[in-house]
Structure 1
Amino acid sequence: MFGGGGMNPRKMKQMMKQMGIDVTELDAEEVVIRTADEELVFSDAQVTRMDAQGQETYQVVGEPETRDPGSAAGAVESGDDDVNDADGDSADAIPEDDVELVATRAGVGKSEAREALEAADGDLASAIASLE
């Protein structure tokens, strides 16, 4: 970025501070990147956050483990199913936070928001658009 390959780290930090760039090391336990085709899971990754003029950039360094999409999400959803089954609610795929968000944005009640989410297969934007 600066071109001085042999620049000492102290001088580099000083220059970055003068330019308004703040670098912070994060103590991340796990980083997951989900794409349509796969999930990249970084365990014990080194994560750095760089804040430059209000724009945050994250750098992840480590070796990822590749998983099929939804393999970990299925385990999370099954945990959510147990919570919803305890309520006797058959709409186990719709999180309560999503229902509240749609209800607030569209200005409707929770039951109407839940119906719209179910009709839209959980797609928040579609549910809100159908209620407006």
Structure 2
Amino acid sequence: MFGGGGMNPRKMEQMMKQMGIDVDEIDATEVVIKQADGDELVFDDPDVTKMDARGQETYQIIGEPETRESADDTPAVESGDDAGSEDDGDDGIPQDDVDLVVQRAGVSEDEAREALEANDGDLAAAIADLE
């Protein structure tokens, strides 16, 4: 768990307890870390340790991760008349967001899209700017 430089594990545990540090092993079967780029690091059957040092929890994961693309990034498949309504335009703004701003602010699609672009896709800010 910790490199004690040859220190007796029982002695190390006593010292950590005196400093207010609690260590618990977690029986995890899988740990998934979602990265900002959409990929995931997946640890199958990892060794997970939780350390609580006076209210600050830290987790240690030991194992070999496998990298995979996030399942959350895959677009939902729809059927019916509304299929494709969640497609992003060339600017990356979802059509559903544009439609919502059009409905709420009573403006054209172009005005709604411009307001969303100006506000980095923030729906509330775009509607507030148009009202």
TM bucket, shorter chain = 0.5 to 0.7
Residue in 2 aligned with 1:31? 31
- Structure 1 residue 20 corresponds to structure 2 residue 20: yes
> Following superposition of structure 1 onto structure 2, how do residues 1-132 of structure 1 map, counting pairs within 5 Å?
4-37=4-37, 38-68=39-69, 70=70, 72-74=71-73, 78=76, 115=100, 126-127=122-123
- Which of the pair has more CA radius of gyration? 2
Amino acid in the other structure paired with 1:59:
Q
Distance 1:55 1:12 in 2: 19
Q: Secondary structure at the match of 2:7?
A: coil
Write out the 4+ residue segments of structure 1 that deviate beyond 6 Å after TM superposition. none
Report the identity percentage.
Answer: 61
Q: Secondary structure at the match of 1:6?
A: coil
Q: How many residues align?
A: 96
Amino acid in the other structure paired with 1:56:
E
Q: CA deviation at 1:36?
A: 2.8
State the TM-score, normalizing by the size of structure 2. Answer: 0.54
Whether the 8 Å contact between 2:32 and 2:43 is mirrored in structure 1 is yes
The CA deviation string for residues 11-66 of structure 1, in whole angstroms up to 9 with x for no partner, is 01100000000111111121111213321101101111100011110000001111
Q: Which has the larger displacement, 30-39 or 51-60?
A: 30-39
Distance 1:57 1:27 in 2: 16
